[in-house]
Structure formats: C-alpha cells, structure tokens
Amino acid sequence: MRPLLLILAALAVVVALAWRHWTHRVVRERHRIEDALKHLFDQEYRGRHASLTSLKGTLHLPDGPVLALVARMQALDLVRARGQEFDLTPEGERLALQVVRAHRLLERYFADEARLPLSQVHAAAERHEHSLSAEAANRLAADLGHPTVDPHGDPIPSREGDVPPAVGVPATSWTPETTGRIVHLEDEPPISFAQIVAEGLRVGQTVRVIERTPTRVVLTDGENEYRFAPAVAANVFLAPAPAHTAAAGVVRLPDLPDHVLAEITGLDDRCQGFSRRRMMDLGFTDGARIEPILRTFAGDPRAYRIRGTVVAVRRDQAEHVIVRPLDTATRGLA
C-alpha cells in the first residue's frame, strides 16, 4: 500500500508542476500579446505602423518568438499583416484600448497618489496593468476624478474607448522663438526620458526653442535653459500655449511674492485625480483670492491665506495653481 501512496503523491506533484508551468505559459503569452497590442496602438496613434523590428525592440524578444506571437495574434483576429507591417483589427483595437486605459490610469495613480518619481511610474504601471480588469479600471478612474491625461501628457481612453487625436510636434520641428506648452514627454527610450526628467522639464511647462542646430536643441522657460541632443529633444512635444498661460501678468503660485494678493485663474492640466480634488476642497478654485503669508526656513511648504483660512501647501502642489496678482486698488476691496 505504501508504494502506491508514494506513486500517487509523486504523480500529484508532477501534475501540480505541469499545471503551474502551463499556467505560467498562458499568463506570459497573454502579457506579451497585451504588450504587443499596446505597442501597435501607440504606433497607429502616432501615425506610424508597427513592424517585426519595432515589436522586437519593444518586447525584447528574438525573431522566432516574435514571429510566433504575431501568428498567434493573427489566429485570434487581433492583427492583420500588410507586408512587413501590422495593423490592429477592430477586436485588437478594443483590447489594446483596455490595456492602454489601465496603464495610463495606473501611471496617474502612481504619480499623484503614490508619489513615485516620474521616471519610475511607467515601469510600475507595466507591472500591474495586466491584472487590472476593465471594471477595476473604471473604479480607479472614478476614484481619481476621471483624469483625462497621464503624467506624460498622453490622453487616457474613456471607458467607451474614445481617445482624442494626438497633439503637439517634437521640439526639433517647433518654430524657433515661438512660445509653446509641453504637452507630451515620450518615455521611450528610457535613457532619453531620464535625461529630460533630470533636467526638470514637465508636462504643462511653457518654453521657447532658442537654438536648433544639427548637434543640439536649446529650450528656455524664461529663467533656465535646457540643452539636449536632437534625438532627445525629439521626445519633447510642444503645442501652442493656452491663453491663460501666455497672458501677461499671470504666474504660478510659487512665483507670487509674499503678502501679494492674487486671484486664482485655474489649476493646470497636470493636477489630476485625488490631488486636484484635494486642492479644490482646500478652496483652490477659479476666482478665489489667495495671499502668501508665511514660509518655512527652507521655503517649503509655504502658508497661504485663502477663503478665510490658512493652509500650508508644498511647492510641487502650488506649481499647479495659476494666479493673477491684483493691483493695489483691487486689493483694498478684498
């Protein structure tokens, strides 16, 4: 009897290991398919087409596994081949939008609520996007206040799958000496994105291209200059600055001098989700009067009087608040 029990126990272990191995392969294939669909969607959204070469670079796989993956996606009617290039089918686009929506919502969460450095949010979102169901993504969107863009400036697809068209052109194509607003920071390749983040550029920032040569591109925000190789500058996308950013006399809250009364004209697009709701709950809404009254020895956080109370706000939060200083006559009426 004992040998039979040992045989059954060994068989159970073999079956468990085989099941685990099969499950791992299924999950790995699903993740690779979703990563490939996300890449195809991004390429089509930017007006390009995915190819075997671009898929190899994105998935970090050799020719054989990529060819097998493409064949599998074709069998599932997710992609169609056009020579050496690939397009999404309607079903492929539907699934791609789900993954893209999950990824960008997670990036928003990790940036705004977990407060991860911008250079880390993409990798964190990639680790969790495959386990976020459509229903969970909808709940996360509601909790975040239905944000419209991710921290890199990419639009977040709606639950219905609607995505606004891409805006902005690379800084390498921007008209010199023309003011523009950064609307997108491309996070691939990571080494270029890391340099952009290290220099301090951010989505929503207003800049001008003051030099553009075959060897470098120089941007300025009026105070600082940012020098990049053209290959790096091509990852910075600019669009015409909105009226409230370009208007004379309008500044960001950290630039408002102490004891100068101002009127809030809005919160910029980078302030999303819980962070936006918290700021609005504190009274940072259009038309509110605000005055800096105290700063710590280090200068951060800073205390402001707003709507009859005093609140302390960190500089990175105050950066999202756009204000118009009021003249002396108007201050007397406050």
Whether 319 and 256 have beta carbons less than 8 Å apart is answered as: no
Which tokens go with 202? Answer: 């951010």
Q: Given pLDDT bands bounded at 50, 70 and 90, which one contains residue 10? A: low
pLDDT for the residue 233: 96
> What is the average pLDDT across 168-178?
92
- pLDDT of 316 over the 50 cut: yes
Sequence-ordered alpha helix ranges (H) in 147-272: 190-199, 230-233, 243-246
- pLDDT of 215 over the 90 cut: yes
Q: pLDDT per residue over 47-99, tens digit each?
A: 888 999 999 988 999 999 999 999 999 999 999 988 889 999 999 999 999 99
Domain boundaries, the chain: 24-88, 169-241, 251-331
Which tokens go with 219? Answer: 């941007």
> What b/e readout covers 183-213, taking b as 16+ CB neighbours within 10 angstroms?
bbbbbeeeebbeebbebebbbbbbbbbeebe
pLDDT for the residue 114: 85
> What is the average pLDDT across 143-165?
90
Q: Given pLDDT bands bounded at 50, 70 and 90, which one contains residue 257? A: very high
Distance CA 215, CA 311 (A): 47
Q: Hey, how many other C-beta atoms are within 10 angstroms of the C-beta on 296?
A: 10
Whether 24-88 shares its CATH topology with 251-331 is answered no
Prediction pTM value: 0.75
Whether 152 and 187 have beta carbons less than 8 Å apart is answered as: yes
pLDDT for the residue 66: 92
Q: Is the peptide bond before 170 cis (omega within 30 degrees of 0)?
A: no
- pLDDT of 259 over the 60 cut: yes
Angle between helix 2-45 and 90-112 (nearest 10): 90
Distance CA 183, CA 206 (A): 10
Question: Domain spanning 24-88: which CATH class is it, in words?
Answer: mainly alpha
Higher pLDDT, 328 or 274: 274
Domain 169-241 architecture: Roll (2.30)
Write down the CATH number for the domain with range 251-331.
2.30.30.90
Residues in CB range of 209: below 8 A, 6 or more apart: 171, 174, 175, 176, 177, 178, 180, 217, 218, 219, 238
Q: pLDDT per residue over 220-235, tens digit each?
A: 988 899 999 999 999 9
Whether 260 and 291 have beta carbons less than 8 Å apart is answered as: yes
